[in-house]
Amino acid sequence: MSADKLHHTITGKVVAIADGDTLTVLDDAKVQHKIRLAGIDAPEKRQAFGTKAREALAAKVFGKAVRIDVIDVDRYRREGGRIYLGDRFVNMEMVRDGFAWRYVRSGKCHSQAPPSPSGAAEAPTS
């Protein structure tokens, strides 16, 4: 995919929440887009606090109109993007609220911090 097609904006209504960092948006043309929140990672559904992370994301955006600045497509064909609800940056809200942690990717190396035993996500210290 060319860089100009890779970086684009989607606007639509959030119609499904898979987990704390993946949602589905229905755009104005009635096309569904599976979106992974770029730059963050949240526990999976079956992991500790996975349900809480999913519920937190749902409370923020489910059924609401959002804008997604798509910056990448992953190996599962999910579009990776920055999610905005008005002027709110949802990706970072999830980190700030302790339901996800910042996920930095450089080449094949990944820097991330797992949730602490208390359930709050901790930012990498490096």
Of the candidates 36, 54, 82, 102, the residue annotated as catalytic is 36
Of the candidates 54, 78, 82, 102, the residue annotated as catalytic is 78
Is residue 35 classed as helix, strand or coil in its secondary structure? strand
Quote the tokens at residue 12: 């639509």
What does the alpha-carbon distance between residue 103 and residue 123 come to, in Å, rounded to a whole number? 9
Query: 46 catalytic, yes or no?
Result: no
What's the Rg (C-alpha) of the chain?
A: 14
Cα distances from 55 to residues 8, 13, 26, 69, 72, in angstroms, run 28, 17, 19, 23, 25
Query: 67 catalytic, yes or no?
Result: no
Query: 78 catalytic, yes or no?
Result: yes
CB burial class (10 A; 0-12, 13-18, 19+) of residue 90? Answer: buried
- Active-site residue numbers? 36, 44, 78
